[in-house]
Structure 1
Amino acid sequence: MREYDAIFIGAGQAGPFLAARMAAAGRRVVLIERKFLGGTCVNAGCMPTKALVASAKTAEVARRASEYGVRLDGKPTVDMVAVAARARKVTLDARNGLASWFDSLETMDVLYGHAKFVATKTVAVDGMRYTAPQIFINVGARPHIPDVPGLAEIPYLTSTSIIALEELPRHLVVLGGSYIGLEFAQMYRRFGADVTVIERGQHLASREDTDISDAIADILTGDGIQIRRGHKMTSVTRAGDEIVVQTDRGEVRGSHVLVAVGRQPNTDDLGLEFAGVRTDERGFIPVDDRLQTNVEGIWALGDCNGRGAFTHTSYNDFEIAAANLLDGDDRKVSDRILGYGLYIDPPLGRVGMTERQAREAGHRVKTSTRPMSRVGRAVEKGETQGLMKLVADADTDRVLGAAFLGVGGDEAVYGVLDAMNLDATTERLRWAVPIHPTVGELVPTLIGDMKPVD
């Protein structure tokens, strides 16, 4: 039995940073990771996928070069081996950087292996036991594989395995029309594959308002992606060199299938029952407003707690835990205003409530929308797809949320995010003097056009 001040299970975007802070303060900590440092973001999420998105964007810009008065000799081609190698290098550089940092911390040990609870404050790794008064679970999530007849018998891809793909699919069939699936769908279409998206619901990215969802669909169909909405999968089979996805409304045949129907937490093999830590029906670990589980001295951080599914929310979990445990603060998860992005091209930047969510929460809302075709910066760049949308409370004038789908939308939305964190009214925000020419300069214009929604 080895004793520490704190044990961290999983090396995602929350636990390691808290472990490093504790180690820098002289506490003895151990970080246990079963596979790779950096978690989903570094190894199978943000970093490699956005590297791939950048390659796909470059291919599209090259194809459109003549629209900007630039002539290229011949048709641009995509070297998938080089594309995959670039994404792999981004991951390895980040992973190695973390390893070097952790090696420099004298009171922090890093172990590689599968940690399982054997008692409330004790975990075992490869037969050795470790105990500490504080334990932090940061094990992340993995792609969910639905129980569809025949799916387990075919060589399907997931958002993790497709990153390493060094060949161009002839026809990629994407199961799932939400954020991860849509990014890969557009990416591989721009690499040169035929792509079909199958979504069981009536809208893509169904969390969004209908006008935003419809605009996303328009962007993707404009790229030549086939979208099948309202299709429920019934089976998957092989037919020669093709994979056949059968739905209740017909079939789709392709060469490769990407399963992108959601994610599930990596909590099923941690021995949580031996620690008395509860999970919900989906496997997430419920936590209180300060990220503690039902067991005192055990916290759950990041994707596995169900309180956010993004790198930035995981990192914010670290910030909350560090502030409360090390700085004498009292920060809460419920104070967090959620923002996120959808990294198709053009991207979606989202913060706060949608119009639908605001109305369901009982707000009397006012909204404003503006097509990107009426945004000067978008016109100048020749990227006029999408729209900007702002939502506010008609009674208090407080900003409730925004959706900026268009060139620079993932950056421009920060003005609204900051305003919401400062509890600003639209009247105050309206009199900001933004930089021209930018996408964000249209926020005061949006405010000026706001109208109550009946």
Structure 2
Amino acid sequence: MRRHDLVVIGGGTGNALIDDRFAHLDVAVVSQGPFGGTCLNAGCIPSKMLAATADVADAVRDAGRHDVDAALHQVRWSDVQRRVFGRLDADSRQSEQSRRDSSFVAVYRGTARFTGERRLRIDTADGPRDVEGERIVVAAGGRPTVPPVVAASGLPYDTSDSIMRIPQPPKHLAVLGGGYIAAELAHVFHAAGSRITIVEQRDSLLADQDEAVSAAFTHAVRDRYDLRLGRELTRLEGRPGGLRLVLDDGTAVLADTLLVAIGRQPNSDRLDLETAGVACTDDGHVSVDEQLRTSADGVWAIGDIVTGVPLKHVANREAEVVAHNLLHPDDPRTMSYDAVPSAVFTRPQIARIGLTEQAVRERGIDYDVAAHRYEDVAYGWALENTEGFCKVLADRTTGLILGAHLIGPQAAALIQPLVLAMASGMTAREAARRPMWIHPALTEVVENTLLELPER
């Protein structure tokens, strides 16, 4: 059994945790899938590169709004894929090779499971390898959830792991689920020419967003997609290329391709964590303390396997905390999830931080709320945008921002001043008055929303 000073399970954010500060240690990285993890290979980056392409296609289709005569000939899907994955696959290979060339890192390609306290068996192509780590970081990520009704059908389906690499856009794509993955990939394939039907159990799309944003997004896409809301899939039948989704109201959806996008689950069930004394929550996420230590001595965990917030920037911050704590155990840092921003790169784009209005009500917080529309600021006129808005909630007693929500162009960038305000403890009034806001930039929609909150 080979012994390492540090073993990291996961070639995504876990691999990124290791830098030259660890060169004095004997380090091992275990990765089942390609290096770069979900984000680089099947998540954040390829989906946003495809979403950016979809935005260009939609801009051409909508050119008449700006009195420009233009026609979209086609989205060259195979060329788009070569551009996107040619770059990302090369980055993944280079990331793995750089580790193999390292003087202090050993690479194990295969699946790992615990066989005891800080002991692992790794099933590699060359047979099983047993290793031991003085310290271990679990960063094994997650995977798409597939409901039994789909898995047991024996019929083909795609998830976010596979759909972006299909050889051509479907003629008719059925999407099971109405969350952020469903919204982003529906946007991509609609722009590429696919008909889209979305089947969602809840009564609106992106139902975890603020209620006003969820309602606005659902309204915005009704004319583009066939929405089957409040519906559940009861049976999947037909044949490859000719699928029939039977819903709980007796209706059916005929499609050539099915995308399952109902959520993701942690890979904790594949690691035999209980053998190592690593505790998990009821939903399978690894339990950690503020320093991201698990219940097992010498074992940390980061990334999608830890939180129900599967965001790369969250995992990156967790990696920073754990890297510091491994190197400086006498001066530990803690992880906070108090103000986590997120964005959905769909059409229209969406971004948020903090609490939704429904969550504020449920907590019984006394609050003020204000909203300002894109069409009421000068650059909103320039964009000819009539659907976007910014919404901010503030504590009525302290004036501190409780949550902020944007829907419309550049939402993912526009949320950042509100992220900074919340992170620095600025009141809504201070956030509006202390900085100078560029006129006529679209950031004025944020400024005006803050100014419309009562001064406390």
Same fold (TM over 0.5): yes
Separation in structure 2 between the aligned mates of residue 148 and residue 245 of structure 1, nearest angstrom: 10
**Are 1:23 and 1:106, in contact at CA under 8 Å, matched by a contact in 2?**
no
Separation in structure 2 between the aligned mates of residue 437 and residue 151 of structure 1, nearest angstrom: 55
Separation in structure 2 between the aligned mates of residue 106 and residue 377 of structure 1, nearest angstrom: 53
Compute the displacement of 1:20 (Å): 2.3
Q: Residue in 2 aligned with 1:340?
A: 342
Q: Residue in 2 aligned with 1:234?
A: 234
Partner amino acid for 1:231? R
Q: Residue in 2 aligned with 1:437?
A: 440
Q: Residue in 2 aligned with 1:295?
A: 296
**Are 1:149 and 1:234, in contact at CA under 8 Å, matched by a contact in 2?**
no
Q: Residue in 1 aligned with 2:2?
A: 2
Corresponding residue to 1:121 among 118, 121, 125: 118
Corresponding residue to 1:396 among 395, 398, 409: 398
Corresponding residue to 1:92 among 89, 93, 114: 89
Partner amino acid for 2:414? A
Q: How does 1:149-188 map to 2 (within 5 A)?
A: 152-188=153-189
Separation in structure 1 between the aligned mates of residue 436 and residue 199 of structure 2, nearest angstrom: 44
Separation in structure 1 between the aligned mates of residue 240 and residue 94 of structure 2, nearest angstrom: 45
Partner amino acid for 2:160? S
Q: Residue in 2 aligned with 1:309?
A: 310
Q: Residue in 2 aligned with 1:277?
A: 278
Separation in structure 2 between the aligned mates of residue 330 and residue 424 of structure 1, nearest angstrom: 27
Partner amino acid for 1:156? Y
1:135-191 Cα offsets, whole Å, 9 max, x none, are 001011110001216753211111111010121211111000010001111211111
Q: How does 1:14-29 map to 2 (within 5 A)?
A: 15-24=14-23, 26-29=24-27
Separation in structure 2 between the aligned mates of residue 193 and residue 149 of structure 1, nearest angstrom: 22
Partner amino acid for 1:375? V
Compute the displacement of 1:32 (Å): 0.7
**Are 1:156 and 1:256, in contact at CA under 8 Å, matched by a contact in 2?**
yes
Separation in structure 2 between the aligned mates of residue 194 and residue 365 of structure 1, nearest angstrom: 42
SS in 2 for 1:253: strand
Corresponding residue to 2:102 among 94, 100, 105: 105
**Are 1:137 and 1:301, in contact at CA under 8 Å, matched by a contact in 2?**
yes
Q: Residue in 1 aligned with 2:11?
A: 11
Q: Residue in 1 aligned with 2:60?
A: 62
Separation in structure 1 between the aligned mates of residue 277 and residue 151 of structure 2, nearest angstrom: 37
Q: Which runs of 5+ in 2 are unaligned?
A: none
Separation in structure 1 between the aligned mates of residue 152 and residue 286 of structure 2, nearest angstrom: 28
What TM-score does the superposition give when structure 1 sets the normalisation length?
A: 0.93
Compute the displacement of 1:239 (Å): 6.1
Compute the displacement of 1:241 (Å): 4.9
Q: CA RMSD in A?
A: 2.0
Query: Are the structure 2 counterparts of residues 10 and 76 from structure 1 closer, same or farther at C-alpha, using a change threshold of 3 Å?
Result: same
Q: Residue in 1 aligned with 2:244?
A: 244
Partner amino acid for 2:109? Y
Separation in structure 2 between the aligned mates of residue 106 and residue 88 of structure 1, nearest angstrom: 29
Corresponding residue to 1:44 among 42, 45, 52: 42
What TM-score does the superposition give when structure 2 sets the normalisation length?
A: 0.93
The percent identity for this pair of structures is 29
Q: Residue in 2 aligned with 1:207?
A: 208
SS in 1 for 2:361: helix
SS in 1 for 2:268: coil
Compute the displacement of 1:53 (Å): 0.7
SS in 2 for 1:438: coil
**Number of aligned pairs?**
448
Greater Cα offset, 96-105 or 342-351: 96-105
Partner amino acid for 2:418? V
**Are 2:290 and 2:335, in contact at CA under 8 Å, matched by a contact in 1?**
yes
Compute the displacement of 1:401 (Å): 1.2
Q: Does 1:369 align with 2:371?
A: yes
Q: Residue in 2 aligned with 1:286?
A: 287
SS in 2 for 1:358: helix
Query: Are the structure 2 counterparts of residues 150 and 417 from structure 1 closer, same or farther at C-alpha, using a change threshold of 3 Å?
Result: closer
Q: Which runs of 5+ in 1 are unaligned?
A: none
Q: Residue in 2 aligned with 1:448?
A: 451
1:189-248 Cα offsets, whole Å, 9 max, x none, are 1111110111101121111122110111122224x1111111021111116852111112
SS in 1 for 2:17: helix
Compute the displacement of 1:333 (Å): 2.4
